[in-house]
Structure 1
Amino acid sequence: MTQAKALEASFLAEMLGQAGLGAPSEEFGGGHGEEQFASFLKQEQARLMVEKGGIGLAEMIFRSLSERDNAAP
């Protein structure tokens, strides 16, 4: 389950980036430092989202892998 949650967090971080989170602001931008650390912010926010329940992707992955392992001879 830990790995499934990590995968969901990675997915959410990518989606947050595509939605514009962490993009440099036009006003009062933090310069190169802001650009360097924006990915850390997205990853941490995604991890916290997963801790609070996420979007259910981790549960689906975990169930799918569990069913596959149980079906294997």
Structure 2
Amino acid sequence: MRAAATKLEANFLAEMLKHAGLGEMEGAFSGGVGEEQFASFLRQEQSQLMAEAGGIGLAETIFEAMKAREDENVRN
């Protein structure tokens, strides 16, 4: 469950980084079409590393909610 929660946080962070413009370059330093195609891989890897390092605490909150739901289902 913890791995799933961390992956969900990483996906959330990747989406936030995308909207923040991470990986988008213009002008002389632009990588063109290739950069556009592979920027998502860079964002995903960076967000995965961020989540594994503690991220913004979302994974822990998700994990605790999942654990509580499982405990509730076991009791019923």
Range into which the TM-score falls when normalised by the shorter chain: over 0.9
Secondary structure of 2:26's counterpart equals: coil
**Matched residue, 2:43:** 42
Structure 1, unaligned stretches of length 5 or more?
Answer: none
Counterpart of 1:26?
A: 27
Stretches of 4+ moved more than 4 A in 1? none
Partner of 1:17: helix, strand, or coil?
A: helix
Q: Quick check: 1:22–1:42 contact (8 Å CA) kept in 2?
A: yes
Task: Tell me how large the CA RMSD over aligned residues is.
Answer: 0.9
Deviations 1:23-57 (A, max 9, x none): 23223211111011000000000011011110011
Q: Distance in 2 between matches of 1:26 and 1:59?
A: 40
Give TM-score, length-normalised by structure 1. Answer: 0.93
Bigger Cα displacement from structure 2, 24-33 vs 3-12: 24-33
Identity rate of aligned residues, in percent?
Answer: 58
Unpaired segments of 5 or more residues in structure 2? none
What letter matches 1:32 in structure 2?
Answer: V
1:24–1:35 contact (8 Å) kept in structure 2: no
Residue-pair matches, total:
73
